[in-house]
C-alpha cells in the first residue's frame, strides 16, 4: 500500500497518479498545499514539493520524493511484479530517449508553460497576499500560452514518426506530457483544434482507465473548462 502526497492540479503529482493507476497499484491520496510549508511535510521532503510517495510495504515507511525518482524507484523495486507492463522501454537507447522527454516536460514545459499559467491562475489564488498571492498577472499567462504552441508542435513532430512519444509503447514520457497538458486543459487553455495530431495522442491517453481519477478532480476556487472531462472533445 502506498500513500501519495499530492496536489490535484500539480502535474508532477498527476504523472505519478497515472503511473500507479497504469500499474494497478493501490494508493491513498493525501492532499498537500505546499505553500503552507507544513512542518510535518517538510520533515518528509525538505524540498517542500509534491509528489512524495510513502511505501508502507517497506520497513520504516520509505519516503520517495519527486516524480522521476518515484518512477525509477517503482521500476527497480517492483520490476518482477510489474513484468510486461513497465512504463520504461526495454532497451537502453529508448530509455535514454524516454528520460530526455520526461525532463523536457518536467523542466522545459514546466518552466515555459505550466509555471507561467498554473502558478498564476491556481497557486496564487490560494497563497496569502504577503507570500505572493493575488490575481493572475495576465502578461505572464500569455507568455505561457505563447510557449504552449511550440510544445504542441513538438508533440506533433514526435507523433509524426512514432506510436507514442518515445516510440512503440506507452512510457513515462507520455504520462509526464499528458499530466502537464491536463492541468492547462483543466483551465481551458489548450488550442487543440490547431494541433490535430497532438489532440489524437491526448484523446488516446484521456480515454484510458488510468486517466479517470484525474478527470474527476475538483479544486475549490478553480472551475474546470467545459470540455475537460469530455472524451470526444
- DSSP structural state of residue 179: H
In whole angstroms, the minimum distance from the beta carbon of 77 to its own copies comes to 5
Q: Does 119 bind its own copies (CB under 8 A)?
A: no
Q: Does 112 bind its own copies (CB under 8 A)?
A: no
Residue with Cβ nearer its own copies (76 or 232): 76
In whole angstroms, the minimum distance from the beta carbon of 93 to its own copies comes to 6
In whole angstroms, the minimum distance from the beta carbon of 178 to its own copies comes to 19
Question: Cα 100 from chain centroid?
Answer: 16
Binding to its own copies, residues 120-139 (CB under 8 A): none
Q: Does 92 bind its own copies (CB under 8 A)?
A: yes
Q: How far apart are CA 222 and CA 187, in angstroms?
A: 8
In whole angstroms, the minimum distance from the beta carbon of 104 to its own copies comes to 6
In whole angstroms, the minimum distance from the beta carbon of 230 to its own copies comes to 32
Q: How many residues bind its own copies (CB under 8 A)?
A: 24
Q: Which residues contact residue 196 at a Cβ distance below 8 angstroms, ignoring those fewer than 6 apart? A: none
Q: Does 108 bind its own copies (CB under 8 A)?
A: yes
Q: Which residues contact residue 180 at a Cβ distance below 8 angstroms, ignoring those fewer than 6 apart? A: 11, 105, 106, 109, 110, 113, 114
For its own copies, the binding residue among 33, 38, 85, 100 (CB under 8 A) is 100
Q: Does 104 bind its own copies (CB under 8 A)?
A: yes
Whether the CB-CB separation of 133 and 125 falls below 8 Å is answered with: yes
Q: Does 93 bind its own copies (CB under 8 A)?
A: yes
Site map (CB under 8 A) of its own copies, residues 209-228, x = contact: --------------------
For its own copies, the binding residue among 25, 29, 35, 73 (CB under 8 A) is 73
Q: Does 35 bind its own copies (CB under 8 A)?
A: no
H or E stretch at 4: strand 2-6
In whole angstroms, the minimum distance from the beta carbon of 106 to its own copies comes to 9
**Strands of 62-65's sheet in order across:** 27-31, 2-6, 52-55, 62-65
First-to-last alpha carbon distance for the chain, in angstroms, is 35
Q: Does 46 bind its own copies (CB under 8 A)?
A: yes
- DSSP structural state of residue 219: B
Whether the CB-CB separation of 182 and 205 falls below 8 Å is answered with: no
Amino acid at each position: 500500500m502506498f500513500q501519495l502526497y499530492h496536489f490535484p492540479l500539480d502535474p508532477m503529482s498527476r504523472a505519478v497518479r497515472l503511473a500507479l493507476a497504469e500499474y494497478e497499484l493501490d494508493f491513498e491520496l493525501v492532499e498537500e498545499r505546499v505553500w503552507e510549508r507544513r512542518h510535518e511535510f517538510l520533515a518528509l521532503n525538505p524540498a517542500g514539493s509534491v509528489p512524495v510517495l510513502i511505501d508502507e510495504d517497506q520497513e520504516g515507511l520509505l519516503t520517495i520524493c519527486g516524480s522521476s525518482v518515484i518512477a525509477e524507484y517503482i521500476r527497480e523495486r517492483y520490476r518482477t511484479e510489474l513484468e510486461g507492463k513497465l512504463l520504461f522501454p526495454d532497451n537502453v537507447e529508448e530509455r535514454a530517449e524516454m528520460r530526455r522527454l520526461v525532463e523536457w516536460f518536467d523542466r522545459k514545459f514546466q518552466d515555459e508553460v505550466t509555471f507561467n499559467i498554473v502558478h498564476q491562475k491556481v497557486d496564487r489564488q490560494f497563497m496569502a497576499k504577503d507570500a505572493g498571492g493575488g490575481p493572475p498577472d495576465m502578461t505572464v499567462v500569455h507568455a505561457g500560452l505563447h510557449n504552449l504552441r511550440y510544445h504542441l508542435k513538438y508533440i506533433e513532430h514526435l507523433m509524426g514518426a512514432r506510436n507514442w512519444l518515445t516510440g512503440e509503447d506507452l512510457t513515462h514520457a507520455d504520462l509526464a506530457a499528458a499530466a502537464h497538458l491536463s492541468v492547462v486543459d483543466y483551465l481551458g487553455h489548450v488550442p487543440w483544434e490547431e494541433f490535430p495530431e497532438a489532440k489524437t495522442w491526448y484523446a488516446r491517453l484521456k480515454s484510458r482507465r488510468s486517466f479517470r481519477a484525474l478527470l474527476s478532480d475538483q479544486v475549490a476556487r478553480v472551475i474546470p473548462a467545459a470540455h475537460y472531462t469530455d472524451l470526444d472533445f
